[in-house]
């Protein structure tokens, strides 16, 4: 037995020694894979991933928080259940892809014929910087302090949490830098699935997005001479202009094929109905209407599946029988387009700034343009003839502004115009507390409409010390959905 053990041990030692000297060549290499990372593919992939992220955390929850919709089957999110949420898809193959585009094009050694054929390097970097800022804004608005400056370093598995204030400063700087790099005389990025490489439109997008970013800081910097107002005016007056027409808007267009379908398509329509609060607002009814509007709004014919009422919001056992769903033709469809940034929202932001005294523009004129363009862009993307109704509706709302206040009506019209973009609408509502939404009756938290998501559950165990710094910046400093992020305090 002793000799057998010695023989086995000797054989193992010989085998291990042999393994140390064997050259296995390219056995671990994928010889059929791409030899170089394609910046164009990385850019397109990031945009596609962001446009198609689906599920409760990534698309439906904010539409519930702003009472666009009511749940009728599983009602926990509508009632503000305290559950951790994922941010994985925002970082992986979205912001990380965009950072790769920036890194690849920033190294002159990579400026080969292949890379240059994908667009002038500065144009690729500029678009990637702007798009990365769009995604990062959503993440920080949703959670508060988040990993940002260290987040995309693959060697750092415990990235620090940046303060939301520093992130916003970085977003403004990056969007301006990206805008100013864009050169319309050079080839635009071929991986751009939003504007097809048209960097003139990207410049307008950047300025319009800066209006959105800076207004989000109006609680922290309300003064007409403050940082937010100064940056707002700088973007508005930039020579490249802002989005003022339907033709310059940013929309995602989808295809009925695996990987690039409208993200609503993956969700069960029978679980979500329009809230009666929203349908009453569109009909001009008084019952559950959280707005000052009492005028019939023909955008209902685009947003809603039929003319029925919606489901009253916030009840544990709400019934959807005979009620109104989001339009399955114009939104809940594999190929239905979805807006990223519109002329309507840009004009409404200009109205908002004018009403705050940030600019000398006429708030009423900006409000009218924002409303009318909302009708126009919906007609252009749905085929439903409602644009002609815009002027009369705008006139009625301007009269409401005289009675109820310009700021209030502007915020109410943003709420309607932004549908179904729940994240932007939720950020707007948290900033202004308009429209006057009543919390869910059968709430699961402390009875407060959710003002943020809880951090992902793995952050506490894998990045605990940094996660605690993020929590400490909330008000109150607890990882709850009723705590407020920095710009909301």
Instruction: Dump pLDDT digits (tens) for 381-404.
Output: 999 999 999 999 999 999 999 999
Distance, CA of 40 to CA of 156 (rounded, Å): 26
* pLDDT bucket at 257, cuts 50 / 70 / 90: confident
- The answer, yes or no, to whether residue 20 has pLDDT greater than 70, is no
Beta-strand pair 338-341/250-252 = antiparallel
Reported as a single tens digit per residue, the pLDDT across 231-244 is 999 999 999 999 99
For residue 9, is pLDDT > 60?
A: no
Q: How confident is the model at residue 322 (pLDDT cuts 50, 70, 90)?
A: confident
- CA 111 from chain center: how many Å? 32
Query: Over the stretch 167-180, which tens digit does the pLDDT of each residue have?
Result: 999 999 999 999 99
Judged against a pLDDT cut of 60, whether residue 205 lies above it is answered with yes
- Pairwise CA distance, residues 289 & 304, whole Å: 16
- Residue range 203-228: average pLDDT? 98
Confidence of residue 22 (pLDDT cuts 50, 70, 90): very low
195, 252 Cβ separation under 8 angstroms? no
End-to-end CA distance of the chain: give it in Å, rounded: 76
Q: Bigger pLDDT: 10 or 281?
A: 281
pLDDT reading at 304 higher than 90: yes
Residue 27 has pLDDT above 90, yes or no: no
Q: Which residues pair with 70 in a beta bridge?
A: 273
> In this predicted structure, what is the pLDDT of residue 259?
82
Residue 36 is predicted with a pLDDT of: 65
| Dist CA 438 CA 387 (whole Å) | 31
Residue-wise pLDDT for 113-130, tens only, equals 999 999 999 999 999 999
Give the H or E element holding residue 343: helix 343-355
Choose among 313, 307, 376: nearest CA to 339: 376
For residue 260, pLDDT over 70 is answered with yes
Report residue 97 as tokens: 């892809």
Q: Dump pLDDT digits (tens) for 455-470.
A: 999 999 999 999 999 9
With a cut of 60, say whether residue 3 has pLDDT above it: no
Mean pLDDT of 327-343: 97
CB atoms within 10 A of CB 201: 23
């Amino acid at each position: 037995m002793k000799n057998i053990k010695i023989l086995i041990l000797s054989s193992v030692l010989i085998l291990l020694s042999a393994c140390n000297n064997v050259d296995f060549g390219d056995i671990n290499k994928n010889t059929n894979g791409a030899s170089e990372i394609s910046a164009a593919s990385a850019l397109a992939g990031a945009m596609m991933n962001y446009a198609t992220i689906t599920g409760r955390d990534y698309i439906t929850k904010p539409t519930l928080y702003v009472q666009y919709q009511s749940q009728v089957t599983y009602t926990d999110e509508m009632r503000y259940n305290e559950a951790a949420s994922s941010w994985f898809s925002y970082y992986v193959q979205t912001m990380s892809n965009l950072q790769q585009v920036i890194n690849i094009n920033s190294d002159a050694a990579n400026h080969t014929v292949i890379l240059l054929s994908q667009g002038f390097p500065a144009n690729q970097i500029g678009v990637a910087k702007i798009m990365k800022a769009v995604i990062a804004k959503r993440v920080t608005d949703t959670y508060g302090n988040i990993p940002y400056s260290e987040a995309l370093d693959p060697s750092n598995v415990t990235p620090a949490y940046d303060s939301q204030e520093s992130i916003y400063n970085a977003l403004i700087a990056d969007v301006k830098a990206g805008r100013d790099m864009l050169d319309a005389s050079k080839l635009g990025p071929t991986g751009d699935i939003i504007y097809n490489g048209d960097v003139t439109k990207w410049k307008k997008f950047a300025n319009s997005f800066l209006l959105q970013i800076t207004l989000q800081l109006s609680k922290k910097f309300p003064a007409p001479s403050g940082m937010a107002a100064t940056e707002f005016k700088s973007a508005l007056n930039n020579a490249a202009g802002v989005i003022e027409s339907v033709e310059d808007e940013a929309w995602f267009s989808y295809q009925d094929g695996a990987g690039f379908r409208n993200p609503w398509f993956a969700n069960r329509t029978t679980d979500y109905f329009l809230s009666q609060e929203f349908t009453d607002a569109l009909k001009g009814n008084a019952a559950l209407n959280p707005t000052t509007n009492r005028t019939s709004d023909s955008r209902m014919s685009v947003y809603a599946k039929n003319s029925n009422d919606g489901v009253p919001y916030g009840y544990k056992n709400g019934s959807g029988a005979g009620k109104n769903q989001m339009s399955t033709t114009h939104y809940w469809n594999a190929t239905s387009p979805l807006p990223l940034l519109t002329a309507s929202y840009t004009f409404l932001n200009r109205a908002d700034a004018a009403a705050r005294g940030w600019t000398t523009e006429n708030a009423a004129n900006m409000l009218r343009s924002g409303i009318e363009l909302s009708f126009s862009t919906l007609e252009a993307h749905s085929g439903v003839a409602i644009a002609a109704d815009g002027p009369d509706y705008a006139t009625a709302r301007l009269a409401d502004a005289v009675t109820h206040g310009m700021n209030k009506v502007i915020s109410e019209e943003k709420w309607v115009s932004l549908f179904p973009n729940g994240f932007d609408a939720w950020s707007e509502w948290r900033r202004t507390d308009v429209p006057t939404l009543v919390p869910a009756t059968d709430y699961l938290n402390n009875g407060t409409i959710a003002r943020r998501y809880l951090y992902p559950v793995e952050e506490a165990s894998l990045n605990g010390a940094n996660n605690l710094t993020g929590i400490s910046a909330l008000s109150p400093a607890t990882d709850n959905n009723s705590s407020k992020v920095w710009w909301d305090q």
